[in-house]
Structure 1
Amino acid sequence: MNTTTDAGGPIILFDAECILCSANAQLVLSNDRQKRFRLASMQGPVGAALYRRFGIDPTNPDSIIVVDGDHMLRDSDAVLAIYAGLGWPWKALSIFKAVPRFIRDPLYRMIARNRYRIFGKRDSCWLPAPEFRDRIL
């Protein structure tokens, strides 16, 4: 039994060097009132292991993923699941589920591939404020 993934709710795996990704992680931590989500960076051992578990190279990931037990969401489905899990007003973004995935995912992947060029890259991994450290794996 893997208690890292089996207990405590879904895990959002993100790029802690990406400015957009770490800003999104901060948004999740600040707005997840029910403390539903935990986060792991792809640069850390937990995040890298989970990326590999689902067949994604953690040194060159093409997607954010959300892992809930043995289930994994990626690309736009992962992003929409995160915002739906935060509750209102973020849940309103679930309306984009009406847009077919064959439209949503290529747009997501284009942004993901160019995230450093568009938003920038940190010199070191982002670290959460002390009050959120218990939710980082």
Structure 2
Amino acid sequence: MENWESKHIVFFDGDCGVCNFWVQWILERDRKDKFMFASLQSDFGQRFLSERGLETQVFNTIYLWKPGQYYLVKSKAILKIAELLGGVYSLSAIGKILPALLSDKAYDIVSKNRMKLANQKCYLPDQHQKKKFIQV
């Protein structure tokens, strides 16, 4: 396993097809190797949630964590991921002009309906991508 402490860690619902689609999307665009991933249901994900006093049984929120620096949730996490991917994706920074209350409301609507939107295809990461998933 790679050194996760120097990466940005994306915590996601491992049972959600939409979430898994977006993890795959990030993996394919992470040219600078900035991200690692952990499902919220994993031991690592559960520890992350517990240590911050966050809900440990409801997995409808994405978290982006830079160890020792910050963690972001919902729309702020998504905008930061796009910024870190760089290139054309950094243009999404324009989304920061929206109040978090409004962008998080849009996030919540998608999150609430994500299981209906999910195409339940099974994604299997390649060998390089497998190193980016935190299991412990």
- Band of TM-score, shorter chain: 0.7 to 0.9
Q: Does 1:17 align with 2:23?
A: no
> Is the Cα contact below 8 Å between 2:12 and 2:59 reproduced in 1?
no
> Is the Cα contact below 8 Å between 1:13 and 1:66 reproduced in 2?
yes
Q: Could you tell me how far apart the structure 2 residues matched to 1:74 and 1:45 are? A: 19
Q: Once the 2 structures are TM-superposed, how far is the Cα of residue 95 of structure 1 from its aligned partner? A: 1.0
Q: Could you tell me how far apart the structure 1 residues matched to 2:76 and 2:104 are? A: 8
Deviates most, 52-61 or 92-101: 52-61
Q: Could you tell me how far apart the structure 2 residues matched to 1:24 and 1:104 are? A: 18
How big is the alpha-carbon RMSD for the aligned residues of Structure 1 and Structure 2? 2.1
In the superposition, the TM-score normalised over structure 1's length comes to 0.85
Where does structure 1 differ by over 3 angstroms across 4 or more consecutive aligned residues? none
Matches within 5 A, 1:1-137: 7-70=5-68, 71-119=70-118, 126-137=123-134
Q: Once the 2 structures are TM-superposed, how far is the Cα of residue 62 of structure 1 from its aligned partner? A: 3.2
**Which structure 2 segments of 5+ residues have no match?**
none
In the superposition, the TM-score normalised over structure 2's length comes to 0.85
SS at 2:6 equivalent = coil
Q: Could you tell me how far apart the structure 1 residues matched to 2:10 and 2:4 are? A: 14
**Letter matched to residue 29 of structure 2:** N
**Which structure 1 segments of 5+ residues have no match?**
none
SS at 1:63 equivalent = coil
Aligned positions, number: 132
